[in-house]
Structure 1
Amino acid sequence: MKKTLALVVCGLLWVNILKAQQTQYMVFEFIKVEKDQLFDYIEFKDLMEKVYRQAFNDQLINGWDIWRLQNGADHGDFQYIMVTYFKNPVHMMNGLEEETMVAYTKIAYPHLTDAQVRTLFQQALSVKDAPMRLYMKQLALTADDFQFKPGVLASFDLMKAVEGRFGDYEKAEIEVFKPIHQNRINQGMMGHWSFLRSALPLGSEAKSTHLTVNLYKDYMQFFNAQAYEDLNQTAEQRAAVNAGLNSRDQKWIYLATLENVVR
């Protein structure tokens, strides 16, 4: 009996360890680019893809994306969203050190001198401004095999939990909304869904506390998902959906197209 109990406890501990190891941490950088620098930004994206590809190969990051915004709170404020994926919160907060990124730039452009590499790197960084940065922890995601490749669509929905209903909102997303999105994925009307919480302490004046990421392979799938209505929902399920909607405020929705990706 004691041996069986010990095995059960060890099994639960191992499951928790694996779950912690699989948790994604992400940095979302909302990027502003001046109109006269949009062409230079193309070169910036290509350089960053080479740099982050090397960081991915060295297992410093889990992935990296650049998304071009189609709409948002004020399209003049941001034109791109850059997402970097990390395996733990420490790596997320430390990010990639500048000297490491310079070294990776040198690998990408071996024909340049050290001085030329540093100049190229600084010129690339000067192109973009990131006035908004979010540090997020993934809480839940759907079971799918969605492929990140240029051209796929994303809806980044910034949410703010109603004060005093933080737990209610998270429970609703995980227990009510996740199965709905999973059903859409199973029917081919969506590619992927994930639910994230801010990884940093926030005060009551925070503009958002959570983020949902909704991915689609193309516009046809996106619009089919918007028109979808589950007519088989019971009255109890509809009540749970309405309660979940009332536990949060949907602040902004950013629709974006994936342009560069490292996986």
Structure 2
Amino acid sequence: MKKIVLFLIFGLLMATGVRAQQAQYMVFDFIKVENDQIFDYIEFKDLMEKVYRQALNDNKIKGWDFWALQSGADQSAFQYIMITYYNDPVNMMNGLDESTMMDYTKIAYPHLNDAQVANLFQNALAIKDTPMRLYMKQIVSTDDNFQMKPGVLASFDLMKANEGMFDQYEQAEELVFRPIHQKRIEQGMMGHWSFLRTALPLGSEAKSTHLTMNMYKDYMQFFNAQAYEDLDQTEEEQKAVSAGLNSRDQKWVYLAILENIVR
């Protein structure tokens, strides 16, 4: 009996360790480009893909995504969302400094000399503005094998927990909404869902406290999911959903298509 108890404890510790290793930290850069520089920016994002691939090879990041905004609260504020994935909060906050980015640019473009690399990099950075940046930690996600590739569709839902209901809202996402999304995935109406907490900025004046990422393989799956209504929900489940919705304010929803990816 003692051996069984020890085995169970060891199993729980191992599971906890696996969950800790799977923790994801992400930086969301919301990027604005002037209309007359759109074509230049296409070159920029291709440059960034090569640079971040070098960073991935060097274990500086876990991944990188570049999304083109399709709809949102104010598309004039920005047109793109860039996401960089990290293993831990320290690496997330440190990010990649300009010197490191330059070094990776040299590796990606070995045929260019130092002056040419510097000019390429500085010109690329000069055509963009980043009006909003969010530092996030993933709290929970669905179990799935969704394949991230260009053309994938996602909605980024920025939420703000109502005052005094922070914990209640997080519990609702994990215990009420996650199972709903998991069911949709199993029914082929969705690809992936994850729930993230904002690490920075903090405070009562922050525009959002959380974010959910809802991913779909294409527009057909997306619209099928929007039309879906779970008629099998019990009255108790409906009350739980309603309470969860009332614990937060849905600030903005941004729909975007994945254009570039590094994994």
Same fold, TM-score > 0.5, yes or no: yes
Please name the residue that 2:120 is paired with: 120
- What is the deviation of 1:83? 0.3
- What is the deviation of 1:9? 4.0
How far apart in 1 are the matches of 2:176 and 2:108? 46
TM-score in terms of structure 1 length: 0.96
How far apart in 2 are the matches of 1:114 and 1:154? 38
**Deviation string, structure 1 residues 208-230 (Cα, Å, up to 9, x no partner):** 00000000011110000000000
Equivalent position amino acid for 2:205 in 1 = E
Q: Is the 8 A contact 2:27 2:85 kept in 1?
A: yes
- What is the deviation of 1:36? 1.1
Please name the residue that 1:164 is paired with: 164
Paired residue total? 263
1:40 aligns with 2:40: yes
Please name the residue that 2:256 is paired with: 256
How far apart in 1 are the matches of 2:199 and 2:4? 37
Q: Is the 8 A contact 2:198 2:209 kept in 1?
A: yes
Please name the residue that 1:186 is paired with: 186
- What is the deviation of 1:115? 1.1
How far apart in 2 are the matches of 1:78 and 1:227? 28
Equivalent position amino acid for 1:255 in 2 = L
Please name the residue that 1:97 is paired with: 97
SS in 1 for 2:77: coil
Equivalent position amino acid for 2:254 in 1 = Y
Q: Which moved more, 1:99-108 or 1:219-228?
A: 99-108
Q: Is the 8 A contact 2:32 2:129 kept in 1?
A: yes
Equivalent position amino acid for 1:39 in 2 = F
CA RMSD, Structure 1 to Structure 2 (Å): 1.3
- What is the deviation of 1:7? 4.7
**Deviation string, structure 1 residues 114-160 (Cα, Å, up to 9, x no partner):** 11111111111111111100000000101111111111100000000
Equivalent position amino acid for 1:245 in 2 = L
How far apart in 1 are the matches of 2:68 and 2:118? 27
**Deviation string, structure 1 residues 235-259 (Cα, Å, up to 9, x no partner):** 0000000000000000000000111
- How do 1:146-165 and structure 2 match up within 5 A? 146-165=146-165
Equivalent position amino acid for 2:253 in 1 = I
- How do 1:61-100 and structure 2 match up within 5 A? 61-100=61-100
- What is the deviation of 1:57? 1.3
Please name the residue that 2:206 is paired with: 206
- What is the deviation of 1:13? 3.1
Q: Is the 8 A contact 2:191 2:217 kept in 1?
A: yes
- What is the deviation of 1:17? 2.3
Stretches of structure 2 that go unaligned for 5 or more consecutive residues are: none
- What is the deviation of 1:10? 4.0
**Deviation string, structure 1 residues 162-215 (Cα, Å, up to 9, x no partner):** 010001100000000001001111011100000000123621111100000000
SS in 1 for 2:29: strand
- How do 1:132-147 and structure 2 match up within 5 A? 132-147=132-147
Equivalent position amino acid for 2:191 in 1 = G
- What is the deviation of 1:8? 4.3
How far apart in 2 are the matches of 1:182 and 1:4? 32
Q: % of aligned pairs identical? A: 73
SS in 1 for 2:71: coil
SS in 1 for 2:140: strand
SS in 2 for 1:199: strand
